[in-house]
Structure 1
Amino acid sequence: MNISTEYISIGGNRNPAAADWDKEGSKLLAFGADDSIALWDPLCIPPRGALLQLNGHTKPVNAVKFFPARLQGVTLLLSGSADHTIRIWKGTTDPKLHFELLKTIVEHQSAITRIATLPGSNVFTTGAADGTVKLWRLIHDLDSGSIDVELLQTINLSPRYFPLSLALATLDETAMVLAVAGTQSTIQMFISKDLQFELAATLTGHEGWIRALDFTHETNDDSGDILLASASQDKYIRLWRIHRGEELPAASNALSDPALGMLGKSLSNKAHRIESQAGKYSVTFEALLLGHEDWIYTSSWRHREGKLQLLSTSEDNSLAIWESDPNSGVWICITRLGEISAQKGSTTATGSAGGLWIGLWSPNDGTVVALGRTGSWRMWTHSPSTDMWEQQVAITGHVKAVKSTCWSRDGATLLTTSSDQTTRLYTKWMRDEISSWHEFSRPQIHGYDLNCIDRISETQFISGADEKLLRVFDEPRGVAELLDRLCDIRVTENAVLQDAANIPVLGLSNKAIQAVADEEPVPNGDTEERDAIDPASIVRKSTLDFNHPPFEDHLARHLLWPETEKLYGHGYEISAVAASHDGKLVATACRASSIDHAVIRLYDTKEWLELKSPLKSHSLTVTRLQFSPDDKFLLSVGRDRQWVVWDRDADGQFQIFAANPKGHTRMILDCSWTPLDQSTFMTASRDKTIKIWQLAGKEVQLKSTVTLTAPVTAVQCLQQRQEGAILFAYGTESGEVGIGKVEPTALDQAEMTKIAMSLCAAKTINQVAWRPWKEGHRDLQLAIASDDSSVRILNISSVA
């Protein structure tokens, strides 16, 4: 069985240190994604999702840094996590991209907060929430490929604080300089002597925690003075100059900039004296960069075309590029990207990005990327012809556990829903001979964690959350036309579609809104006040007219689906939902600890009325519901270890056909009908087994028990038989995924294939879903939703 990754979608961790772009070697971008590290190639053409996911850490990854390997074809990656460990990974790109864990370092007593490297040396530093900074030497044998690490020094920070930012630079031929800052308003400068650092100066001036530090030489040839940029939660960036010699550098004109007003008079230019074995230095305040309106998270230097530029990102949703004016020496913001601050106060539901937490320069100088609160990357490329920065397609993903996933009936689109309170729609961007997977719509942005989802029809779905009701959504015209234009998914003929949707401020329900042409005036102001149209209730048609997958600001604001129904009746959080194959019925269940609440409610989808009397049998939460392929039976499984088959009579009412209160020895977590003519189903349980059951007359027989090594949390059968055999996929609590194959005539003989862990998720699998297979499709595809916040699609071929 040949198995490969088709697509991985995963959101980035909201930590300024949790991403790095390899300037040499692989040219890949690595970022922390929950407990894993995701690798992405932003400059890949055509654009695609994450290439690889490195699993191993047991808590969120806080810091990621590439280490200059100085070896052709080899990449070294350092990662630090809240699990107190630092891990060293070795990557190769030939013949294919592959990373392996070389070493795990357990020295810090608390979460790692930052890693800093020094280009051209084998030294790196780590900071942690235990109030220490450790200096390390990396010893790697280029021939054998072995790696070892030597701890050179532990610096106990005094007064004790958390180091949120570290920066290393070469001071001269005898010494290095280390800058440390964090949960206080001062910067500590350490100078090395024989690889032992000593505190040399404390820089004051900031009035908030310091989030970012970065050194650079003023000139590209590493001669001249060293500049240090420090960015703080006080909304300012300060530049500091390290100058060699007894004499102080010429005072910067920037301090007399009239734009500073009264602030300029309070800026201290006290010189700090430091020295190494080779010479004496002064550290002076150089410039104050004003412009951001909120906390600043990152600042990083680059030399470009003889100019020195600084990139900063802030909680104010903007990314700024700064340059020194050649005449006055005043540092000015030459480019600002992101969102205008007028939208900053809007709620998450109406599209606030919640700040940009990470900003990175690309290795080729022409691109910048930024990570926002929603876990999605944004990318801009500089166009020399127009001298403008143009936004490009980047990657998006959930930032918390993905709880449920389902395909459309024709297999064209995939819906997922998550504890991050969003529902997302993925499909293929089709152009000429090229295709790639992207997020094309965010139908639901909710105030509650979402638990379950199912399709009612091609243009309608239902979802359940940590609230007591279910919500039904219809596809809007804007999304339908976008999918038609870019994905070759035809708009359903004669479908009556709303134009678009938005969420009213302080609301949870998506309301349908109108799309109007750009030139069409909005009647507002010249009519009576009560007749005036709320500007939020319309959207300009040009807003929905683009020829690429939507950017994050489109997804978060303009591609919601209008809500058409709410279904009431349950007393607790919704746990399971299933729609019948003909789309006429919906079955739902909620969390429960008694038989009164562990009921299954049925609704018809024409009038959205609940059918008489809910179905009672379970005594604890129903974990999964599924209709049989012919919709004659409804199968339910629950935490009470029971499965129940409900039979539909001529009047459309459901009665218990068969039940087994001891179907498994532990709770049953999932179930699936097989495509066999004789009704057969599978159940998956925490007792580490999958059982195959078959209806025979008025009873149900156990045909087979498949034993696995971990609790089974997900199972699904492919509804189209492959060469006569039944294929099923399963997922476990440990993140393992496998494929099973049984012959209809020998249900007790299952052939099991484990999928390599490098292709699997890092945490519990919540659901697996086969893409509906059609004649002519080359490969089978399997979607996997996991607690590690990833959505992945695997290609499965050569099924003999």
Structure 2
Amino acid sequence: MVQVSSEYISIGCNRTAHAACWGNSGLVAFGADTLVALYSPLDQNSKGIQETLPGHKGRVICLKFIERGHEAEIKDVALVSGSADYTAKIWKINAEGKWINSATLEGHTGAVETIACMRAHCIEGETDTIITGSSDGTIRVWERRIVDDATDEVTCQQIISNGNKYPMSLALSYLPDSKTPVFASGHTDKLISIYIYQTESNQFEKMHTLTGHDNWVRDLSFATYTASEESTHANNIFEQGDLILASGSQDKYIRLWKISAHVSAAVESETSDSNSNEISELSEALKESELEGEQLSTKAHLVTANNKQYSLMFEALLMGHDDWVFSVEWQRPHVQTINGEQRFIQPMRLISASSDKSMMIWSPDNDTGVWVNEVRMGDIGGSTYLGFCGALFSPDGKSIVSHGANGSFHLWRTSGDNHWTPHVAISGHFKSVESIAWDPKSRFLLSASLDQTTRLFAPWNRQANGQEVTTWHEMGRPQVHGYDIKCIAFVRDWQFVSGADEKVLRVFDAPKSCVESLAGLTGDKSMLENTERLPVGANLPALGLSNKAVFENDTLPDDHIETNIGSHTVTSATPEQLAQVLQHPPYEETLIQHTLWPEVEKLYGHGYELISVETSHDGQYVASSCKAATAEHAVVRLFSTENWKEVKTKIDAHALTVTRVRYSHDDRWLLTVSRDRLWSLSERQAGSVDTPYKLVARAKAHARIIWDCSWSHDDKLFVTGSRDKTIKVWAQSNAAEEAAKWDCVATIKCAEAITAIDFAPVAVNNRYIIAVGLENGRIQLLSSVDLQQISQWELWHQFDQRLCHYGVVRSVSWRHPSSAAEEANVLQLATGGEDHSVRIFNVAY
């Protein structure tokens, strides 16, 4: 019986301001392409992503948890996700403890850009209000009722149209000391509208517009003020129960607004005589200004809702960010013990994230009440980096997680003294993963992606709480490029070659620091053999594409004197920084610039963008192909790794793009498959320098483009997988007489086009096993009857859809099992897909 479990998922967070949210349970949900990924940052073993939820057909733009409960008992009951496919979906945990999609909110005619759920100290009732804002210019108010354990009923209560100005941010709460819902919406016309629920009409009505920002309003957040015992300045400004709205905008500023219950002059005079004159004058002036419709300099505005008056007032302007502010969030209220009694306190702390590469925590100064920036954290350096999209407080306020423009998370924790330290978080590709490759000894995995990076993933083996713990992490980013990277292959240990959307192949050597760090983190000391010749690290020159090697005794040029402390001006890392050996998986700021591998060689010859590259198992020859529409360019070029020169004889077998080249395990054969639906075989010519491989056979195999091919572990078979939804297995009919004659012995039909295929590296229970990746993201394992009967194949295992990719599976690759893994009957399979993810599965048999 085959059991497949997910060992590791790496996927980047979408580049939108509302793409992540942190629930009361400690779970962070974030949008990753079309998937909703679940991640627990405070997991003691740093496990990373737990699972991904498929369902949306477009990019997931915004997420919010629905909460219910009273004060300290507030719990998450469900999760809402809004997407570019014009819908929002509700997810909840069913009786079996699985996340399921319980309802879909349909009706918008544009992408759902922002979602608001109720945030208050006490949320009760059988229904939940959800407000969605879309790029079709409308805001919709929905009501959710729980039908049963697996389904919800959602009805649209109201549609508010905003013309061509669409809402970018929403926040929902209750008015002070009431259960009247109020929501604020920030728009692309720089205004914030306040809508209040009217009981007569059972609808929200627009009561007021707050002006002040002079660019798009990106995020809004409500908090309910709780008076504290100490006589802080805030107690003079805010009353118990006041609603405070924070708004962050692209004009670089954060504004705070106050909504408080307005006490009329008659009541005031009874309670306090001293202030009565001023107050009555103020309210008179307010009434006059209301009548005349002019704005007072204090900007206090009266609105009436359900026979109560409320005043809206601009409270504070928070200046400090140097670029667009993408997100603002209040710290969650929590229970504190004050003078022996338990009180539910809303801390006056706000976190903001900006594209100036920093996050700031703001709070009012105790003496003056002026809002000041308590702490600022973020990244320094990294020339390709675009700052933060959003920052979130943990439920207890002692941790912060933020997501950046390149899809990775940053986690910071404090021990309570406002000294924040970074911790290991997660990262992943933020565009399609095109190719993956295990190193020759299968110790770590490399992936190449259209996000212009190659990334290195390895296990972190360690002792924690007396147990052996293994978790996978991104351990390095060997190549950060200016072109989309398409293909990747190892030449030998610590050396790989990659091809991008350019005409040059680039060869990279591992730096010493990377080898030492990997040896330490994986606990595999055999990695440290023969590493003396390696450089310390690599730098990417400010305007270049080639990573330059840095050696131990290199000194920086004289003009590189650090007169300015701001190290964002320093583009290159020093040998000392690069030589540091990691004690834990690197943080994003290290990955951006300190884990590059130096480029040692460029291989020229192709006339168009590269598509495929592969290296012979003995490391002598690199074979590569490029995009081609004519036979002249559809050649496979061979490069000798001794002198990195192209050998004279090319393999000229195809008329269109060669999509994949594969060497047999004994390097005797070189197999190529192409868009012209043919495969070709070339045989190794021993001792020939000019013609290392000679074309000996080719055959028309499929009715559509052949995407991938693979050799069996004993080189007796190869398979081809095509867009015509078939897999063909080929074997030698008579190995002794005609070695080059290979016939199709089996044709296997699949439900979808085959886009990636790989033979298992060993025989499993005396059978051949093939892993197949399909165009719809599904992954299947096929097996032969035994090693002799190769004409009959059956489905060995179909991966559960929740484990699979969404979109095309671009690459599948088995990890060569260590002796321990073979005894335990476990194989590991790595896959890369168009959904931006790299996944590693444990296949137990």
Q: Does the pair score TM above 0.5?
A: yes
Give the 3-state SS of the residue equivalent to 1:484 in structure 2.
Answer: helix
Q: In structure 2, do the counterparts of structure 1 residues 580 and 526 end up closer, same or farther at CA, with 3 Å as the change threshold?
A: closer
Give, in angstroms, the shift of residue 69 of structure 1.
Answer: 5.8
Please tell me whether residue 369 in structure 1 is matched to residue 401 in structure 2. yes
Match of 2:388 among 331, 345, 356: 356
Match of 1:129 among 128, 135, 144: 135
| Mapping 1:470-509, distance limit 5 Å | 470-489=505-524, 490-493=527-530, 495-509=532-546
Please tell me whether residue 649 in structure 1 is matched to residue 693 in structure 2. no
Give the 3-state SS of the residue equivalent to 2:677 in structure 1.
Answer: coil
Counterpart in the other structure of 1:439: 474
| Mapping 1:312-331, distance limit 5 Å | 312-331=352-371
Counterpart in the other structure of 2:378: 338
Give, in angstroms, the shift of residue 182 of structure 1.
Answer: 2.2
Please tell me whether residue 398 in structure 1 is matched to residue 403 in structure 2. no
Give, in angstroms, the shift of residue 102 of structure 1.
Answer: 1.6
C-alpha distance in 2 between matches for 1:69 and 1:450:
46
Q: In structure 2, do the counterparts of structure 1 residues 373 and 267 end up closer, same or farther at CA, with 3 Å as the change threshold?
A: farther
Q: What do residues 511-530 of structure 1 show as CA deviations (whole Å, max 9, x unaligned)?
A: 0123569xxx9673699xxx
Give, in angstroms, the shift of residue 356 of structure 1.
Answer: 0.5
More displaced stretch, 431-440 vs 165-174: 165-174
Give, in angstroms, the shift of residue 675 of structure 1.
Answer: 1.8
Counterpart in the other structure of 2:197: 192
More displaced stretch, 541-550 vs 109-118: 541-550
More displaced stretch, 70-79 vs 632-641: 70-79
C-alpha distance in 1 between matches for 2:75 and 2:663:
52
Contact 1:688–1:711 (CA<8 Å) still a contact in 2?
yes
C-alpha distance in 2 between matches for 1:207 and 1:237:
11
Match of 1:289 among 318, 332, 344: 318
Counterpart in the other structure of 2:261: 244
Give the letter aligned to residue 558 of structure 2: N
Q: What do residues 411-447 of structure 1 show as CA deviations (whole Å, max 9, x unaligned)?
A: 1100000000000000011112111100001000000
C-alpha distance in 1 between matches for 2:18 and 2:557:
48
Give the 3-state SS of the residue equivalent to 2:572 in structure 1.
Answer: helix
| Mapping 1:156-175, distance limit 5 Å | 156-157=161-162, 160-171=164-175, 172-173=177-178, 175=180
Aligned length: 758
Give the letter aligned to residue 233 of structure 1: Q
Contact 1:571–1:590 (CA<8 Å) still a contact in 2?
yes
Please tell me whether residue 785 in structure 1 is matched to residue 832 in structure 2. yes
Contact 1:428–1:438 (CA<8 Å) still a contact in 2?
yes
Match of 1:585 among 621, 631, 650: 621
Match of 1:201 among 189, 208, 219: 208
Q: In structure 2, do the counterparts of structure 1 residues 564 and 235 end up closer, same or farther at CA, with 3 Å as the change threshold?
A: same
C-alpha distance in 2 between matches for 1:228 and 1:543:
47
C-alpha distance in 2 between matches for 1:492 and 1:268:
74
Contact 2:252–2:325 (CA<8 Å) still a contact in 1?
yes
Give the 3-state SS of the residue equivalent to 1:43 in structure 2.
Answer: coil
Give, in angstroms, the shift of residue 275 of structure 1.
Answer: 1.4
C-alpha distance in 2 between matches for 1:686 and 1:629:
26
Q: What do residues 14-36 of structure 1 show as CA deviations (whole Å, max 9, x unaligned)?
A: 1111111111xx42110000111
Counterpart in the other structure of 1:262: none
Give, in angstroms, the shift of residue 268 of structure 1.
Answer: 4.7
Counterpart in the other structure of 1:732: 774
Please tell me whether residue 594 in structure 1 is matched to residue 630 in structure 2. yes
Counterpart in the other structure of 1:750: 793
More displaced stretch, 750-759 vs 596-605: 750-759
Contact 1:69–1:76 (CA<8 Å) still a contact in 2?
no
Q: In structure 2, do the counterparts of structure 1 residues 659 and 542 end up closer, same or farther at CA, with 3 Å as the change threshold?
A: closer
| Mapping 1:31-430, distance limit 5 Å | 31-68=30-67, 75-92=77-94, 98-119=98-119, 120=123, 122-141=128-147, 144-157=149-162, 160-171=164-175, 172-173=177-178, 175-194=180-199, 195-219=202-226, 223-246=240-263, 268-302=297-331, 303=333, 307-340=347-380, 343=381, 347-348=383-384, 353-384=385-416, 387-430=418-461
C-alpha distance in 1 between matches for 2:718 and 2:409:
42
TM-score (norm 2): 0.87
| Mapping 1:626-645, distance limit 5 Å | 626-645=662-681
C-alpha distance in 2 between matches for 1:111 and 1:287:
33
Q: What do residues 165-199 of structure 1 show as CA deviations (whole Å, max 9, x unaligned)?
A: 00111014352111011212111111111231111
Contact 2:103–2:151 (CA<8 Å) still a contact in 1?
no
| Mapping 1:676-695, distance limit 5 Å | 676=714, 679-695=716-732
Give the 3-state SS of the residue equivalent to 1:104 in structure 2.
Answer: strand
Please tell me whether residue 673 in structure 1 is matched to residue 673 in structure 2. no
Give the 3-state SS of the residue equivalent to 2:719 in structure 1.
Answer: strand
Give, in angstroms, the shift of residue 538 of structure 1.
Answer: 2.7
C-alpha distance in 1 between matches for 2:493 and 2:579:
24
C-alpha distance in 2 between matches for 1:550 and 1:574:
31
Could you list the runs of 5+ residues in structure 2 that have no partner in the other structure? 229-238, 269-274, 279-294, 337-344, 562-569
Counterpart in the other structure of 2:841: 794
C-alpha distance in 2 between matches for 1:452 and 1:535:
28
Q: What do residues 334-385 of structure 1 show as CA deviations (whole Å, max 9, x unaligned)?
A: 0101024xx4xx631xxxx31100111111221000001110000000123x
C-alpha distance in 2 between matches for 1:7 and 1:78:
25
Q: In structure 2, do the counterparts of structure 1 residues 411 and 220 end up closer, same or farther at CA, with 3 Å as the change threshold?
A: farther
Q: Which has the larger radius of gyration?
A: 2
Match of 1:462 among 490, 497, 509: 497
Give the letter aligned to residue 308 of structure 1: M
Match of 1:761 among 785, 789, 805: 805
Give the 3-state SS of the residue equivalent to 1:454 in structure 2.
Answer: strand
Q: What do residues 480-520 of structure 1 show as CA deviations (whole Å, max 9, x unaligned)?
A: 11112221232232541011001101110000123569xxx
Give, in angstroms, the shift of residue 237 of structure 1.
Answer: 0.4
C-alpha distance in 1 between matches for 2:309 and 2:107:
34
Contact 1:174–1:278 (CA<8 Å) still a contact in 2?
no
Counterpart in the other structure of 1:576: 612
Give, in angstroms, the shift of residue 769 of structure 1.
Answer: 0.3
Q: What do residues 113-141 of structure 1 show as CA deviations (whole Å, max 9, x unaligned)?
A: 00100141511100000000001110113
Counterpart in the other structure of 2:564: none
Counterpart in the other structure of 1:531: none
C-alpha distance in 2 between matches for 1:684 and 1:739:
13
Contact 2:116–2:131 (CA<8 Å) still a contact in 1?
yes
More displaced stretch, 75-84 vs 536-545: 536-545
- Note the aligned Cα RMSD (angstroms): 2.3
Please tell me whether residue 658 in structure 1 is matched to residue 693 in structure 2. no
C-alpha distance in 1 between matches for 2:349 and 2:418:
16
